[in-house]
Amino acid sequence: MSFSLDAIGVVHANGQRALAGVTLAAQDGECIAVIGPSGAGKTTLLRVLGAALRPTEGAVQALGAQPWQLPAAALKKLRARIGTVHQAPPIAPRLRVVTAVLTGRLGEWSTLRALGSLFYPSDIAGAHEALSRLAMEDRLFDRCDRLSGGQLQRVGIARALYQRPALLLADEPVSALDPTLADAAVGQLVAQSESTGATLVASLHAVDLALRWFPRIVGMRNGQVMFDLPAAQVTAAMLDTLYASEGGIAMQRPLPAGAAMEAAFHRPDCP
């Protein structure tokens, strides 16, 4: 079992309820897309899974541990096994891209190696390989404040690929990318799960991407799980109900897998 949530509830300090009675579990290596309108609780769910937010109610197990029953040192080690791709990656603007990617393994490194890598990157080849999967290898030594929002998102994805976590969480990881690049980047996250056995949970607003790449779809609305189904069983009527408050389904129209990869990752002018 990769993780399990049992009747999870989250109430913020202002009294707003973000999650209500969420029960969800995954086996090692599963790929799950979480979809739903803005404010559905998707980001909060991923923060609970990543042991970044303690729920108000319910029980959490992740990677064989109960995070909130661990001492501080053990909780830190658990978090080092969980990778998170953020919609807006928390990357210091003055960092070089290579250094930003290498921070993916800070949880495994000694303090001496981590500090040394700030002055001279300790694994340039590893960072280059991760960036090359996202057509970003030519920006290896650029400063992050010289990148566009879409390029920063791809650096954030490369950092998670380099980390090789056991549980990979992605919160709207391709929101700043055009449809072709988004399709190819999501494909890389799925490929990472398949090659390493990591469990992947991705929050996506683009339903086409979710249905295209993920065998299991979780639909959320108002902090609750509305459905948890194989992608083939998700109907248009379910999606219409899920996104009723937004007036329609958030769709993209990606190219077929091979065409998307070739078109996106062989263009010198990628944004």
Do the Cβ atoms of 160 and 168 come closer than 8 Å? Answer: yes
- By DSSP bridging, strand 57-62 and strand 3-11 are antiparallel
Mean pLDDT computed over 25-29:
98
Cα–Cα distance between 116 and 28 in angstroms, integer? 34
Helices and strands in the chain: count of H runs, count of E runs: 10, 9
pLDDT of residue 182: 97
Residue 270 DSSP code: -
Report the candidate in 95, 104, 103 with the shortest Cα–Cα distance to residue 144: 95
What's CA 138's distance to the chain center, in Å? 24
Distance CA 62, CA 2 (A): 6
167 assigned to some structural domain: yes
Decide if 163 is inside a domain: yes
pTM of the model as a whole: 0.89
Task: Give residue 189's domain range.
Answer: 3-264
DSSP-derived pairing of the beta strands 216-221 and 31-35: parallel
> What pLDDT, on a 0 to 100 scale, did the predictor assign at position 250?
55
Structural domain contains residue 269: no
Q: Give the model's pLDDT for residue 247.
A: 67
Chain segment 33-80, per-residue pLDDT in tens: 999 999 999 999 999 999 999 999 999 999 999 999 999 999 999 999
Q: With respect to residue 13, please indicate whether it lies within any of the assigned structural domains.
A: yes
In the chain, which residue ranges form alpha helices assigned H by DSSP? 42-49, 72-80, 97-102, 111-119, 124-132, 149-163, 179-196, 207-213, 236-242, 257-264
Quick one: pLDDT band at residue 93, thresholds 50, 70, 90?
A: very high
- Using CB atoms within 10 A of its CB, is residue 62 exposed (0-12), middle (13-18) or buried (19+)? buried
Residue 270 is assigned to a structural domain of this protein = no
Residue 85 belongs to domain with CATH number: 3.40.50.300
Of 175, 215, 185, give the one whose Cα is nearest residue 33: 215
Using CA atoms, how far residue 111 sits from 98, 105, 106, 115, 182, in Å, is 18, 12, 8, 6, 35
For the chain, the domain total comes to 1
Residue 268: pLDDT over 90: no
Q: Is 271 inside a domain boundary?
A: no
Q: Is 250 helix (H, G, I), strand (E, B) or coil?
A: coil
pLDDT, residue 222, reads: 96
